[in-house]
Structure 1
Amino acid sequence: MKREIKGIVIKFIKFAKVGAFVTFLSLGLNYFFLKIVSTPLLPTYIILYLLMISLSFFLNSKYTFKAERSIKQLIMYYGSYCSSMLLGVALLSIFKILLPFENWILAYMVVPFTMTSNFILSSLIFKKHE
């Protein structure tokens, strides 16, 4: 049991590292394309968002879970991120009503929940091939 918990913690840390890398890369690419190249906001946001989820899928399958990849898993991965986004929206709505914080603080408060949700769902997606 102790070994299993240690394995989960290690995977969670790796998952967080991939998430941090993809987030910073996304921020840098958004700045580059929106500020330097002056591409339009919505297409840039959508394309980069989709590409970053794909990169996250590839890195997590390889580095975090050491699992084979398939198109089915990729689709499920996108679905898991969509469901986590819905969780975030629901939590933001609740937090907005119950808590007296500014919006940017509320957005940060949602991150631990969505990250944990993404990790659990990703673990399930890649578990079949471990």
Structure 2
Amino acid sequence: MSKELDNVTQIDDQNVRKYGGEQREPKEPFKFQIGESPTFLVQEPDADTVMDIEEARTTRRVLKLFLGDQFDDLADFIGPEHPDTLIDLARDMSKHFGLFDAEQAVNRADRRGRDRRRVGRRR
């Protein structure tokens, strides 16, 4: 009986799609500058990081996930910039690496910014 089970588990089912396990060529790093900053180099995120990016609720969190240890250096340069700069940066990194849900996090941050500006005008 155990011999039959071994044979069954070894059958290669052509109807089963298999993912992962292969070596893929990583995408080119995303390189950018903010004003006169040094060049930042962002490597393609792994699947765990991509899932975290998709769940991120703020642009700051998206950038932290993409940049890792470089985020603190970036913060010094991006802090005084117009808010669209950080939104554009997060959006462009997402597009560069072929992520789609990260764009939603950026859009939420953009929408919150518009809402804050509207509230500020009402006062």
TM-score, normalised relative to structure 2:
0.26
Question: Whose strand proportion is higher, 1 or 2?
Answer: 2
TM-score, normalised relative to structure 1:
0.25
The higher radius of gyration belongs to 2
> Which gives a bigger RCO, structure 1 or 2 (Cα 8 Å, sep 6+)?
1
Question: Whose helix proportion is higher, 1 or 2?
Answer: 1
